[in-house]
Structure 1
């Protein structure tokens, strides 16, 4: 703390910025761990319910909430709107609708990871800027004091190097957390893909049986 208080104002600003970036990193981690954990748990339960169902109607009776319900309702609505049309056309339109939901959900889950990537890549350079600026100030102080005494040089250089140290402290966890969250989000996307595949299997089976039932009010009923 003493090194921070005695540092150059520019170096202080760099340290404060890096400290704020570190706080942002751990905040994103906390929020994403909670949101991804809940989303994965709901999706696992929904996948089990989809596997146990023998039809889309049975799946709607079992799945009562979450993303899987949204996918089922979208499927039933499209099937109702396409009543009397070709089976391949229905499958294609349902696949497009589910794909858009899958993409939008994945994008929403990835919100915040860009901050981690930025901190991980830029943090060390911001810290290095603070170090360079601090060392420049130290050299100017040496020139003004007309001495190379270590007692005069060392404090300024140490304060400057502290900025690089804080930059690394902010950047290294950001990179590790970014990689971990990316893997977790990828796993969640795989689960969404499994849910879409199960729904498409139910739809294909029912269309092959020419059981093209369902009503346009299913969305309101499910909601």
Structure 2
């Protein structure tokens, strides 16, 4: 059915994103505002985590080189990476609990306790690096549904307006539906980058965790060498198999 002169006069002339946002229902406006805030949060976390992980990757690479060249635990106490330095610190603390004469009989226990403490350091560093990642996952999972809620609400209002105007002319109905669908578009714009950044950050943290495992292995090797170098081998008892 062609649009009447009254329909054409009442049709919104500006169909830009800003104009549709201004004409939208307050609920739809609230939904889109939440999604804009989610997009800003995603961008902020992306920038911060990229800077943080790049800095940690550089420091752990330098720490691995220092650990590979260190002749003993004491010479590797000052490392550029805080997690690797903490691993060396807890290993030294466990070693210094006992006099060197007691290292040989207690070697296995010292290594087990040092390994447990190093695992705690690794877990703590991973928790620090993972802060904010769950927010990205939540945004990526929830943003499309939040946008869909705004769309459903807007379409309901559009149908109510159609019933009140008693017209089904597409030129009159389309702007209201377009305003409602704008919420879904906002939801996708918020969700897609959040999912991509979540995967990127998760892979980067996994790579750093592998390097932390390498650092832990090198610290344990240095600890084992320290125990072996200071070990006191007990004298052999007189009288063996051959009566020596």
> Please, what TM-score do these two structures have when normalized by structure 2?
0.84
Paired with 1:36 and 1:44, the residues of 2 have a C-alpha distance of: 12
Paired with 2:79 and 2:136, the residues of 1 have a C-alpha distance of: 35
Paired residues of 1:130 and 1:160 also in contact (CA < 8 A): yes
SS of the aligned residue for 2:36 comes to: helix
Paired residues of 2:60 and 2:80 also in contact (CA < 8 A): no
Paired residues of 2:59 and 2:80 also in contact (CA < 8 A): no
Match of 1:70 among 86, 97, 109: 86
C-alpha distance 115-150 of structure 1, shift in aligned 2 (>3 A): same
**1:115 is the counterpart of 2:135:** yes
**1:198 is the counterpart of 2:218:** yes
Which structure: greater helix fraction? 1
**1:79 is the counterpart of 2:95:** yes
Match of 1:173 among 182, 185, 193: 193
- Figure out how many residues of one structure are paired with residues of the other and give that number: 211
Match of 2:230 among 198, 203, 210: 210
Match of 2:148 among 111, 122, 128: 128
Paired with 1:71 and 1:89, the residues of 2 have a C-alpha distance of: 17
The alignment's C-alpha RMSD in Å is: 1.4
> Please, what TM-score do these two structures have when normalized by structure 1?
0.91
Q: Which ranges in structure 1 are unaligned for 5 or more consecutive residues?
A: 213-223
Match of 1:156 among 176, 187, 196: 176
Paired residues of 2:62 and 2:80 also in contact (CA < 8 A): no
Paired with 2:231 and 2:55, the residues of 1 have a C-alpha distance of: 35
The aligned counterpart of 1:2 is 19
SS of the aligned residue for 1:111 comes to: coil
The aligned counterpart of 2:61 is 44
Paired with 2:41 and 2:190, the residues of 1 have a C-alpha distance of: 9
Paired with 1:2 and 1:65, the residues of 2 have a C-alpha distance of: 51
SS of the aligned residue for 1:55 comes to: coil
Q: Which ranges in structure 2 are unaligned for 5 or more consecutive residues?
A: 1-17, 233-244
